[in-house]
Amino acid sequence: MEIAIIGGGIGGVCLALNLQKRGISCRIYERAPEIKELGVGITLLPHAMREFTALGVDKDLEAIGIENLDSCFFNRFGQLIYKEKRGRYAGYQFPEIGIHRGRLHLALWNAARRRLGDANMLTDHECIGVTQSGGRAVVSFKDRASVTADAVIACDGINSAIRKQFYPNDAVAFAGINTWRGVTRRKPILTGRSYMRVGSILTGKLVIYPIVNEIDGAGNQLINWMAEIKQAGFAKNDWNLAGKIEDFYDIYKDWKFDWLDVPEMIRNAETVLEYPMVDKDPVDRWTFDRVTLLGDAAHPMYPRGSNGAAQAAVDARTLADLLQRNTDVPAALKEYEAARLGPANKVVLTNRSNPPDFINIKVEELVGDKPFDDLDKYITQAELQQLSDGYKKVAGFAIENI
């Protein structure tokens, strides 16, 4: 069996590692000319770390990231709404890790290179389509020779060329939420291992967490932050472009708390990138005979709840298991679709309607856009915990399921 993996991002590399572990021959075809340390922060939830542990790369990732201790929810006046332990501190078998996305990608890519060899990790291969005949699939590339395989797995992201072939009218869904992501060197915030959600998308929201410890030998961390706001008439941001602080700074200019000076953190950012908050409407089919979709090519979701990488990793392990058990490749791909399409699509829709930061939105609705004196008059901590636990169940990382 020979598997062609189109795309060498997190999902594609996870699939390659899973297939190699099971003795299934595969090769990655990545569009980029070279793999670089790009992007900002990402959080690896316990179900993601479960998958990386099974692949034997967990210690590498823990060494280059920061293990989260707790998750804290604040209103935009800096008042604590709700706090809970995370990862191993909450009783999970696996940790929750904040990490630089580029470092994560490079660690996974290098692990795959060691195990598969350079000959099976091809860059500068831009897929432009796939055809099928005679029980084989043929991948065409721009300015490269085509290749033939028993199966083609589209791991080429939200703008997947292969998904577009099967869904020519496919388009991203934009609901007026734009984001800006930055990294800032500064002293640790709160515990130095806290994941913070501040405010709501209705009046301005920030997600803040550390991703690199001792970045400069002076006790500073590299802090990842993401600013989000929903406004009528917003034009959609582009991806990975340099962001302009003046486009969003006014929303946060007065956010000075006793535990964090937000304007200072934004002004001192080393990098600011802009992104739109987009996903795609779920589709009811991923598999087309010897071709199937995986990760963001299958179920692009809002970057909320730290779930995109986790869902891709679960896809990869599920597909590899089924290809190992069933040598009838089209049947194995259909089994994979049956196992993963429903759960992944449910996460996509939940991230739209009831994301983990729904806690912030709910409190803002109940209290009004103002400070509170006694939150229990409006909602109890037990009720807030129910909201948090509900998202974990849908997203696949309730403690009883890990």
Q: Got the DSSP string for 216-268?
A: SSSS-EEEEEEEEEE-TTPPPP-SSEEP-GGGTHHHHTT-B-SS-BHHHHHHT
For the record, the structure tokens of 69 come out as 């201790």
Q: What is the pLDDT of residue 72?
A: 97
Give domain limits for the chain: 173-279+355-401
Mean pLDDT of the region 372-392:
93
The pLDDT-based confidence of 138 (bands split at 50, 70, 90) is very high
Mean pLDDT of the region 94-123:
96
Mean pLDDT across the chain: 94
Q: What is the pLDDT of residue 12?
A: 98
More confident residue, 357 or 184: 184
pTM of structure: 0.93
Burial classification of residue 156, based on how many CB atoms lie within 10 Å of its CB (0-12 exposed, 13-18 middle, 19 or more buried): buried
Mean pLDDT of the region 297-321:
91
Look at residue 77 and tell me whether its pLDDT is greater than 80. yes
Burial classification of residue 89, based on how many CB atoms lie within 10 Å of its CB (0-12 exposed, 13-18 middle, 19 or more buried): middle
CATH of the structural domain 173-279+355-401, one choice from 1.10.10.10, 3.30.9.30, 3.40.50.300, 3.30.70.20 = 3.30.9.30
Look at residue 21 and tell me whether its pLDDT is greater than 90. yes
The pLDDT-based confidence of 223 (bands split at 50, 70, 90) is very high
For a pLDDT cut of 70, what percent of the chain falls above it?
Answer: 100
